[in-house]
């Protein structure tokens, strides 16, 4: 991708893009003007989005819907037109659940990913573990192809104790299970990807998702589930990473990464 002086990439689980629109997300987007936007959990099919702000001016917009209406789905908006857009991974549930879209720009790619959560029961946790196994193989292949990648995602997992408020109480909860944390250990330590946020933002109490129960958001009792995972060659370009919490467009918050050349 041809960088200008800097590039801003925002990732956001909108928990329904139409709901986020009603809460002001597209006004915020118009004011912030990131270069690339990766959305997850669209909860709509593209034909349902023809009216309204869902193809914002100045962006090339690409959606990948779930087969099931009102469920999952991902999107990428980019100010620069991609050379190629890839929808899906060729296996389930990535494709029928609309969980993966990739935009290629020269030798640089951006991915919007929505990882299964596993929180609705043992069956879905098993689906998540299966997804993790297959996706790790995909990530290993990406590391071998010579391209640079930024994977923007609701990963539905926390890696370290710093990444969620009540880590002691959640050691047996989906999203912080030992098996999930070990998968992230392998992602970073063995396969070599980098958590871009932690390169420049090591402070605690920074979260991107809060339960709707009680006063979790008001009390900042949250989880950092949404982040940019990058190939190591991009690490020196990371300038800033921040979570926007001043307005509430979803139960998640937008996370923006800034890179410079």
**In this predicted model, what pLDDT tens digit does every residue of 103-148 receive, in sequence order?**
999 989 999 999 998 777 788 899 999 999 999 999 999 999 999 9
Model pLDDT, residue 1: 44
Strands laid side by side in the 238-243 sheet = 60-64, 74-78, 36-40, 6-13, 255-260, 238-243
Residue closest to 193 by CA, chosen among 141, 243, 118, 241: 141
Nearest in space to 99 (alpha carbons), one of 148, 154, 150, 140: 154
Confidence band, pLDDT 50/70/90 cuts, at residue 4:
low
Phi-psi map region of 205: left, alpha, beta (phi>0 left; psi -120 to 50 alpha): left
CA distance 147 to 56: 28
pLDDT more than 70, % of the chain: 98
CATH architecture of 6-260: 4-Layer Sandwich (3.60)
pLDDT of 67 strictly over 50: yes
Output the average pLDDT for the chain: 95
Can you tell me the mean pLDDT for 44-70?
95
pLDDT at residue number 168: 93
CA nearest to 139, candidates 63, 180, 190? 190
199 three-class SS: helix
Q: What is the mean pLDDT of residues 86-94?
A: 96
Q: Which residues are identified as catalytic? A: 154
C-alpha distances in angstroms, 233 versus 18, 166, 197, 258? Answer: 36, 34, 15, 15
Residue 32 burial (CB count, 10 A)? 13
Q: Is 211 helix (H, G, I), strand (E, B) or coil?
A: coil
Say how far apart CA 143 and CA 165 lie, in whole Å. 32
Q: How far apart are CA 169 and CA 172, in angstroms?
A: 8
Nearest-5° Cα angle at 109, 108 to 114? 160
For residue 56, give the 3-state DSSP assignment.
coil
pLDDT at position 123: 86
A 10 A CB-CB count for 103 gives 24
Mind listing the pLDDT tens digit for each residue in 216-256? 999 999 999 999 999 999 999 999 999 999 999 999 999 99
The residues that bridge with 60 in the sheet, in sequence order, are 78
Can you give the pLDDT at residue 34? 97
């Amino acid at each position: 991708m041809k960088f200008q002086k800097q590039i801003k990439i925002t990732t956001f689980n909108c928990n329904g893009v139409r709901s986020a629109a009603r809460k002001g997300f597209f006004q915020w987007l118009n004011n912030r003007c990131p270069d690339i936007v990766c959305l997850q959990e669209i909860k709509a099919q593209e034909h349902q989005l023809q009216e309204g702000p869902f193809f914002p001016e100045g962006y090339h917009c690409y959606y990948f819907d779930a087969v099931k209406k009102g469920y999952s789905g991902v999107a990428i908006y980019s100010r620069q037109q991609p050379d190629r857009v890839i929808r899906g991974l060729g296996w389930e549930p990535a494709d029928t659940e609309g969980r993966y879209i990739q935009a290629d720009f020269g030798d640089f790619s951006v991915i919007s990913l929505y990882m299964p959560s596993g929180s609705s029961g043992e069956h879905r946790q098993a689906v998540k573990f299966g997804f993790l196994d297959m996706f790790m193989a995909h990530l290993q292949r990406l590391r071998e192809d010579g391209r640079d990648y930024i994977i923007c995602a609701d990963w539905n997992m926390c890696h370290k104790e710093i990444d969620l408020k009540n880590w002691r109480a959640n050691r047996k909860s989906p999203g912080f299970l030992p098996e999930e944390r070990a998968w992230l250990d392998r992602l970073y330590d063995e396969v070599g990807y980098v958590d871009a946020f932690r390169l420049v933002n090591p402070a605690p109490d920074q979260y991107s998702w809060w339960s709707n129960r009680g006063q979790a958001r008001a009390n900042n009792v949250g989880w950092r589930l949404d982040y940019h995972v990058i190939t190591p060659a991009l690490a020196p370009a990371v300038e800033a990473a921040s979570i926007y919490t001043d307005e509430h467009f979803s139960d998640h918050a937008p996370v923006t990464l800034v890179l410079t050349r």
